[in-house]
Amino acid sequence: MDPFQMIHIDKAATEHMYIQIYKSIADLIRQGQIKSNVKLPPIRSLAEQLGVNNVTIVKAYDELEKEGYVHKKIGSGTYVKPMDHHGGAREPFEDVGRGLEQMDRGQIHIHSDMISFSSATPTPDLFPVEDFKNLLIEILDRDAGSVFGYQESQGYYPLRESLVSYLQQYGICTSVNHVQIITGAQQGIDVISKAFVEYGDAVIVEYPTYTGAIATFKSRGAKIIEIPILPDGMDMDKLEEKIQEYKPKLIYTMPNFQNPTGYSYNSQKKKQLLELAYKYNVLIVEDDYLSDLNFNGYDAATLKSMDMQDVTIYIKSFSKVFMPGLRLGFLVIPSKLHPQILAAKHASDISTSGLNQRAFDLYLRKGIWKHHIQFMQRIYEERFEIMVRCLNEYIIPLGVCCSMPQGGLNFWLCLPEGFSSNELYRKCEENNLLILPGSIFSSNQKESPCFRLSIAAVYPDQIKLGIKKLSEILERMIGKKESSNIHPYFPIL
């Protein structure tokens, strides 16, 4: 379909038509529907198509040019630019690497003989299917048809009650009124964005960060400000500088076992982050997708539990330790923000599946959850330890850097200067090994020497085999370093 046929305007709206056209085209460019270097339609023909004046189109194209989406070639027309860093514009994915564009949408094609360090999702053999089957039957016998009616948008009340008690172990004291059930953490990010992020608003994220969050903020037309994350959290001076400069609507952060780096904030930085939020009146969005997997006794306190002024929206996902296909998570929301969140949730999908909410409620109430989480912790801890050993033995001596995480599923490794992880990705793929290059985790897919390895979907033997294989590929790529050149490994305690 011609992407320009997808431009929509609402002539009854109060927003100027040229702004609507500008936004519509900018969205299509960001979504990749209109590719780099494509020529925009001539002014007169687009004006006719949309039933507006030529001047309206001229102004829309001027706005696109001002914001860095297009450039004009005299005597030729207006062309889509490869995107720059700050406008959220980017080089097309095809230029970055074969197959990477699929990863942007969380989809990678994996052959059965591949070892995949790319997926951070548990494999189905770890799902508690039998237990859940019994609960589903019990729920259907108990609640019959009401399971399949529309549910309360805020979430099934008894589940919210169960979650309030569940949260106590994380030091979060809240009430059922502040819990909002969501259809997975991804929806949580989306709902929060819908509620609070307007076109052009600045949003601060860690760099690198979770791809799904970047995609959501971009879809709202946000200006994404990236602050590099260090092994103990963001640089707080830089953060303050950027807050002053951009006056962001929110700061999106994963303080424990960050995705993709596995880094965790130290307690002092957690406090500083909250203090900056209080000082500048910025909302914090805390994405807690993994704090259950704490292997070294690190203090995985959540920001929400430390927040004395109620500025944090806490997002909890169970996807990494339970069953991602259940599409279930929840938010804990500052009281004054609840009406907007509820409206955005209702506009998204009305309510989360009643069957899943009720089954998960019973799962918590019957204490089966506790056994399952202990089971997952054992499985992952074994893989975690093997991974640390293998990296220390085979990879670190090659001059590849890694600040070992304290828990979670992800390891972030950085090649020596001058090497690109996109190139490494391609070499690995040729050898049936999958890694995730760092370019995936930035707003403009810029090349990165770093890459993510995840232990979620690899068995212990595959870790040993895979890391050995990776070391051979790396050896060929960067050459073995003399021991004097070895980068030492500093655990962050």
Binding site for ligand PLP (CB under 6 A): 120, 184-186, 210, 212, 254, 259, 287, 289, 317, 319, 324, 329
Number of other CB atoms surrounding residue 256 within 10 Å = 29
Q: Please say which residue, 88 or 212, places its beta carbon nearer to ligand PLP.
A: 212
78 within 8 A of 65, measured Cβ to Cβ: yes
54 within 8 A of 63, measured Cβ to Cβ: no
Nearest distance from residue 259's CB to ligand PLP, in Å?
Answer: 4
End-to-end CA distance of the chain: 54
Residue 83: its H or E element: none
Q: Please say which residue, 151 or 186, places its beta carbon nearer to ligand PLP.
A: 186
Q: How far apart are CA 401 and CA 104, in angstroms?
A: 25
Could you say which DSSP state residue 336 is in?
G
Residue 469: CA count within 13 A, CB half-sphere: 21
Nearest distance from residue 463's CB to ligand PLP, in Å?
Answer: 20
Q: Please say which residue, 352 or 420, places its beta carbon nearer to ligand PLP.
A: 352
- Reading phi first (left if > 0) and then psi (alpha if -120 to 50, else beta), residue 82 is in beta
Nearest distance from residue 298's CB to ligand PLP, in Å?
Answer: 18
Q: Please say which residue, 329 or 399, places its beta carbon nearer to ligand PLP.
A: 329
Nearest distance from residue 184's CB to ligand PLP, in Å?
Answer: 3
Q: Please say which residue, 56 or 443, places its beta carbon nearer to ligand PLP.
A: 443
State how beta strands 450-454 and 436-437 pair.
antiparallel
Q: Please say which residue, 22 or 330, places its beta carbon nearer to ligand PLP.
A: 330
Token representation of residue 58: 């001229």
Nearest distance from residue 452's CB to ligand PLP, in Å?
Answer: 11
Nearest distance from residue 319's CB to ligand PLP, in Å?
Answer: 3
| CA distances for 379 relative to 60, 95, 359, 373, angstroms | 55, 38, 24, 10
Nearest distance from residue 351's CB to ligand PLP, in Å?
Answer: 16
217 within 8 A of 252, measured Cβ to Cβ: yes
DSSP string for 143-208: HGGGGGS---TT--HHHHHHHHHHHHTTT----GGGEEEESSHHHHHHHHHHHH--TT-EEEEEES
Q: Please say which residue, 120 or 458, places its beta carbon nearer to ligand PLP.
A: 120
Nearest distance from residue 213's CB to ligand PLP, in Å?
Answer: 7
Nearest distance from residue 293's CB to ligand PLP, in Å?
Answer: 12
Q: Please say which residue, 324 or 399, places its beta carbon nearer to ligand PLP.
A: 324
Q: Indicate the residue whose CB is closest to ligand PLP.
A: 184
Beta strands in 320-456 (DSSP E): 329-332, 401-402, 410-414, 433-434, 436-437, 450-454
Q: Please say which residue, 40 or 191, places its beta carbon nearer to ligand PLP.
A: 191
State how beta strands 250-253 and 283-288 pair.
parallel
